[in-house]
Amino acid sequence: MSDSLIYPERGMQWGIFLFMVVSAALAVIGMPLYIFSHGISRFDLLLFFFYVAATGLSVTMGYHRLFAHVSYKVPSFVKFLFLFFGAGAFEQSALKWASQHRSHHLYPDTKRDPYSMKQGFWHAHIGWLIFWKQPKVYENVKDLQKNKIIMNQHQYYGVWALVSGILVPWTLGIMAGHGWSTFFTAVCFRIFFVQQATFCINSLCHWIGKATYDPEVNAKDHGLVALVTLGEGYHSFHHRFPGDYRNGIRWYHWDPSKWLISLMGFFKMAKDLTRIPPERILRARLHAEKSLARKESRSASRPSPVLEQAFT
Ligand SMILES: [Zn+2]
Ligand SMILES: [Zn+2]
């Protein structure tokens, strides 16, 4: 097996690049211009928010916590809904997404981490998708390959994405007499918004906040980042305990995916919800505090470079 199959290698991804540029231009230039000249209806707003929630949460609850981490179980029709609306977020197939994400957790900040923060903020945010050819090795998602719907979505991803992300919302808009405004809001701006929110998980969540549970990994916890990332901002906890279906463990932590999975569990639509026992969480936190304190005291006892220079 050649290196290029294991490690990402440099290579412009023109298809992704053009899609990003066109959708971003339509979102940040086309949409404001259209709204300024035509206004926006309640229908457009409702469809926009519905589609942000449906596609965004299908990525966080479905692609991420269900498929990549198997932190709970759901019946096939719920998996189908996650796959359908997840495809509409235009973030690749669930199989590819989960494979890359498992590599991110298994080899953080190494050459095998597709969105390693060590290669810079913009690489982790979007550069890894545009300027790098990512390996297509699915050995780490053999469990997912057994599922026929996941494989169908993977094989015919373009069709799934087109139908879910563009044709369905646009057709609904046309039927309601709001064709172009729906195109700019629930299609273009929504795709741009949900993509950027997800990309922030790989960049902001490894940049801002506190490494509450593991100072060895640069994943951080931050309440404001949680707001931007649809609840994925408690990233230090998530990297320390990826099998837990929650990211924000306190009741007040903004984590809509956690609340909805709990609700699904209450109504028997989800089962086997994994929760790490509180004593293990506390132990991890204390361990992290201790090693942080050790690091700080080591750097405090070291003479400052200015003083060292003054006495040499
Ligand atoms: Zn991460
Ligand atoms: Zn994860």
Tell me how far the alpha carbon of residue 217 lies from the centroid of ligand 1, in angstroms.
9
Do 127 and 250 share a structural domain?
Answer: no
Tell me how far the alpha carbon of residue 236 lies from the centroid of ligand 2, in angstroms.
10
Do 74 and 15 share a structural domain?
Answer: yes
Tell me how far the alpha carbon of residue 101 lies from the centroid of ligand 2, in angstroms.
6
Tell me how far the alpha carbon of residue 141 lies from the centroid of ligand 1, in angstroms.
18
Number of domains the chain is built from? 2
Ligand 1 being an ion, which residues bring their Cβ within 5 A of it?
219
Q: What are the E-state strand segments in 39-169?
A: 132-133
pLDDT of residue 294: 83
Do 217 and 165 share a structural domain?
Answer: no
Tell me how far the alpha carbon of residue 59 lies from the centroid of ligand 2, in angstroms.
11
Do 146 and 90 share a structural domain?
Answer: yes
Do 67 and 166 share a structural domain?
Answer: yes
pLDDT of residue 240: 96
Rg (CA), the chain: 21
Which structure tokens are listed for 136? 């297509």
Tell me how far the alpha carbon of residue 93 lies from the centroid of ligand 2, in angstroms.
16
Per 3-state DSSP, the chain is made up of helix, strand and coil in percentages (nearest 5) of 65, 5, 30
Do 186 and 104 share a structural domain?
Answer: yes
In a domain, 264, yes or no: no
In a domain, 122, yes or no: yes
Which structure tokens are listed for 48? 């926009």
Tell me how far the alpha carbon of residue 136 lies from the centroid of ligand 2, in angstroms.
19
Are 179 and 200 in contact by the 8 Å Cβ rule? The answer is: no
pLDDT of residue 189: 97
Q: Residue 233: which domain range?
A: 210-254+281-312
107 secondary structure, DSSP code? S
pLDDT of residue 302: 63
In a domain, 273, yes or no: no
Do 196 and 216 share a structural domain?
Answer: no
253 secondary structure, DSSP code? S
In angstroms, rounded to a whole number, what is the distance separating the alpha carbons of residues 6 and 60? Answer: 26
Are 41 and 180 in contact by the 8 Å Cβ rule? The answer is: no
Tell me how far the alpha carbon of residue 212 lies from the centroid of ligand 2, in angstroms.
16
Tell me how far the alpha carbon of residue 54 lies from the centroid of ligand 1, in angstroms.
22
Do 215 and 87 share a structural domain?
Answer: no
- pLDDT tens for 62-96 read 999 999 999 999 999 999 999 999 999 999 999 99
Do 127 and 7 share a structural domain?
Answer: yes
pLDDT of residue 5: 54
- pLDDT tens for 7-30 read 888 999 999 999 999 999 999 999
pLDDT of residue 259: 97
In angstroms, rounded to a whole number, what is the distance separating the alpha carbons of residues 123 and 115? Answer: 7
Tell me how far the alpha carbon of residue 219 lies from the centroid of ligand 1, in angstroms.
6
Which residue ranges in the chain fall short of pLDDT 70?
1-5, 300-312
pLDDT of residue 166: 97
pLDDT of residue 119: 94
